[in-house]
């Protein structure tokens, strides 16, 4: 079940440039322990194209390597100079894009090990200095598909000094991939002819809609629990991963997950991920609970009028009239408020339209509640410019629903229904756009 927002022990970031998303999952430093100079705070991954992946290390302070990166077809090791790297958390897990998995050693000298899904090599290696939107240095490793280029043992990549250019916005960070300086020295154990890289594109092919999937709860916030011991956070995650897989198989969508592991994430961060991704649709997945164990079935929530008003109040209080990635309150607060409300209304209409389609599709695959489209004052749905729904998959407090939540077959069937609803929603949007386009065409003479 959705709950009030709480401070997260992990930080998840989502960067984007128009419809091209940079998917990110960054593990942050422990709460209450500020990063020191030269301390690596986390590792992030972003898929910049089908053949390119960006790896970003967030660092409090300057950083330099202790030697040239050591590369093979399937792995890359970057060791850091202990003189500039004070410490780093010991992290390991799944990567993204070309990176299958990664490991960041916690011991000094710190090293980052990347294991690739297919042969890959470094395209560029550079440092982004702190800016207005990010107080940390960012060590950026851009990877591209292809075997490493043969090179002699190289001198250390010393003093990865920050560029004089300031990267103060998310757009600047992503655009830096276009002009990033090439790596001039990489030690490699594999000789292979250089493959011509695919051109870097900042737009998804055919401008695929961006779908943000948000598995609710996680980590120290397990959510509700079933009588059989099922944890809501885990079934939410399983459903989210299944939905992501189903959507990715269609090839029609760019899919972003707010979390891929059992970790806690603040509500505000979840909705910020959707906004930064320029999401076309946000789906938060939960499992409901009720004192009456006989209650069962799915339901779909959109933001209530109270939630809409709260979002506007918070924007007014903070002067934060940002909708569709534009600061509409920068000129006149009154105008900003009007435009903010218009954006809210448009988003509310889109959310309601998708909710109705989703309920219809769910009825063909699983039990749904009466009055299955409901409204709630949920923080995770507050973004004024992202159509969003909260899907209560089933009641974890009901024995049959709990069994369904743990069933791979039920999960696959239900997520197929959600995928079909998403397809129908965007087909309707495309038809509406075409109709509007035809309506404004000048009459033939």
Does 241 reside within a domain?
yes
Do residue 156 and residue 269 come from a single domain?
no
Distance CA 412, CA 394 (A): 14
185, 68 contact by CB (below 8 A): yes
Does 127 reside within a domain?
yes
The pLDDT value recorded for residue 18 is 26
Domain of 288: which CATH number?
3.40.630.40
The pLDDT value recorded for residue 139 is 82
Do residue 213 and residue 137 come from a single domain?
no
Do residue 330 and residue 390 come from a single domain?
yes
CB-based contacts of 427, cutoff 8 Å, min separation 6? none
Do residue 113 and residue 37 come from a single domain?
yes
Distance CA 174, CA 18 (A): 11
Do residue 304 and residue 434 come from a single domain?
yes
Contacts of 202-208 with C-beta under 8 Å, sequence gap 24+, read 202/17, 202/18, 202/20, 202/174, 202/175, 202/178, 203/18, 203/19, 203/20, 204/19, 204/20, 204/21, 204/254, 207/19, 208/19, 208/252, 208/253, 208/254
The pLDDT value recorded for residue 148 is 72
Do residue 410 and residue 371 come from a single domain?
yes
Does 13 reside within a domain?
no
Do residue 389 and residue 309 come from a single domain?
yes
Does 200 reside within a domain?
no
The pLDDT value recorded for residue 124 is 81
Does 194 reside within a domain?
no
The pLDDT value recorded for residue 46 is 81
Burial (CB count within 10 angstroms: exposed 0-12, middle 13-18, buried 19+), residue 201 = middle
Over the chain, what HEC string results?
A: CCCCCCCCCCECCCEEECCEEECCCECCCCCCCCCCCCEEEEEEEEEEECCEEEEEEEEECCCCECCCCEECCCEEEEEECCCCCCCCCCEEEECCCCEEEEEECCCCCCEEEEEECCCEEEEEEEEECCECCECCEEEEEEEEECCCCCCCCCCCCCCCCCCCCCCCCHHHHHHHHHHCCECCCCEECCCCCCCCCCCCCCCCHHHCCEEEEEECCECCECCCECCCCCEHHHHHHHHHHHHHHHHHHHCCCEEEECCCCCCCCCHHHHHHHHHHCCCCEEEEEEEECCCCCCCCCEEEEEECHHHHHHHHHHHHHHCCCEECCEECCCCCHHHHHHHHHHHHHHHHHHHHHHHHHHHHHHHCCCCEEEEEEEEECCHHHCCCCCCEEEEEEEECCCHHHHHHHCCHHHHHHHHHHHHHHHHHHHHHHHHHHHHHHHHCCCCCC
Q: Which of 134, 159, 188 is the last residue of a domain?
A: 188
The pLDDT value recorded for residue 400 is 96
Domain of 167: which CATH number?
2.60.40.3500
Does 54 reside within a domain?
yes
Distance CA 208, CA 252 (A): 6
Number of separate domains in the chain = 2
Q: Please compute Rg for the chain using Cα positions.
A: 23
Do residue 175 and residue 42 come from a single domain?
yes
Distance CA 219, CA 100 (A): 23
What pTM was computed for the model?
0.50
Range of the domain at 180: 20-188
Largest CA distance in the chain: 77
Distance CA 103, CA 66 (A): 17
Do residue 251 and residue 291 come from a single domain?
yes
Residue 130, both tokens: 């702190």
Do residue 215 and residue 78 come from a single domain?
no
pLDDT tens sequence for the chain (445 residues): 664 333 222 222 222 222 222 222 333 322 233 344 578 877 888 876 778 888 888 888 777 776 677 778 788 888 887 777 667 777 778 888 889 888 888 777 788 889 998 888 888 887 777 766 567 778 888 888 887 755 433 334 344 444 333 333 333 433 333 333 333 333 333 333 232 222 222 233 346 899 999 999 999 999 999 999 999 999 999 999 999 999 999 999 999 999 988 999 888 788 778 877 888 999 999 999 999 999 999 999 987 655 344 443 443 444 443 333 333 344 444 444 444 354 456 778 889 999 999 999 999 899 999 888 877 655 555 566 788 899 999 999 999 999 999 999 999 999 999 999 999 999 998 887 776 655 545 544 4
Do residue 218 and residue 77 come from a single domain?
no
Do residue 104 and residue 56 come from a single domain?
yes
Does 7 reside within a domain?
no
Distance CA 388, CA 301 (A): 9
Q: Which of 128, 163, 188 is the last residue of a domain?
A: 188
Q: Which of 188, 213, 235 is the last residue of a domain?
A: 188
Does 67 reside within a domain?
yes
The pLDDT value recorded for residue 63 is 73
């Amino acid at each position: 079940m959705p709950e009030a927002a709480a401070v997260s022990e992990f930080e998840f970031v989502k960067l984007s440039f128009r419809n091209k998303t940079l998917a990110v999952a960054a593990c942050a430093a422990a709460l209450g322990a500020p990063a020191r100079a030269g301390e690596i705070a986390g590792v992030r991954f972003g898929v910049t194209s089908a053949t390119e992946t960006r790896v970003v290390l967030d660092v409090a302070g300057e950083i330099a390597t202790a030697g040239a990166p050591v590369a093979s077809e399937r792995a890359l090791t970057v060791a850091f100079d202990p003189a500039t790297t004070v410490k780093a958390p010991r992290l390991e897990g799944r990567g993204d894009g070309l990176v299958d998995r990664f490991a960041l050693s916690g011991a000094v000298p710190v090293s980052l090990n990347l294991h690739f899904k297919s042969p890959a090599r470094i395209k560029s290696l550079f440092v982004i200095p702190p800016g207005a939107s990010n107080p940390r240095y960012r060590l950026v490793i851009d990877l591209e598909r292809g075997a490493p280029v043969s090179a002699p043992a190289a001198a250390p990549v010393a003093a990865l000094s920050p560029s004089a250019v300031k990267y103060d916005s998310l757009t600047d960070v992503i655009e830096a991939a276009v002009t990033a300086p090439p790596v001039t020295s990489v030690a490699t154990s594999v000789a292979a002819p250089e493959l011509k890289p695919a051109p870097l594109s900042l737009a998804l092919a055919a401008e695929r809609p961006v779908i943000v999937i948000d598995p609710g709860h996680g980590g120290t916030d397990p959510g509700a629990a079933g009588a059989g011991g099922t944890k809501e956070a885990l079934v939410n995650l399983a459903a989210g991963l299944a939905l992501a897989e189903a959507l990715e198989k269609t090839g029609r969508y760019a899919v972003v997950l707010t979390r891929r592991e059992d970790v806690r994430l603040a509500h505000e961060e979840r909705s910020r991920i959707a906004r930064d991704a320029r999401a076309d649709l946000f789906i938060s997945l939960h499992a409901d609970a009720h004192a009456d164990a006989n209650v069962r079935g799915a339901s779909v929530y959109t933001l209530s009028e109270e939630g809409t008003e709260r979002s506007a109040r918070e924007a007014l209080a903070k002067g934060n009239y940002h909708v569709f990635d534009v600061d509409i309150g920068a000129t006149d607060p009154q105008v900003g408020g009007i435009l903010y409300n218009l954006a809210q209304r448009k988003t509310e209409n889109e959310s309601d339209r998708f909710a109705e389609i989703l309920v219809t599709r769910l009825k063909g695959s699983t039990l749904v509640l009466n009055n299955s489209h409901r409204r709630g004052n949920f923080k995770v749905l507050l973004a004024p410019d992202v159509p969003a729904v909260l899907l209560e998959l089933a009641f974890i407090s009901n024995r049959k629903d709990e069994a369904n939540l743990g069933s791979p077959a039920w999960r696959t069937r239900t997520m197929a229904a959600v995928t079909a609803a998403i397809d129908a929603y965007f087909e309707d949007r495309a038809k509406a756009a075409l109709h509007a386009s035809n309506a404004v065409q000048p009459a033939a003479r």
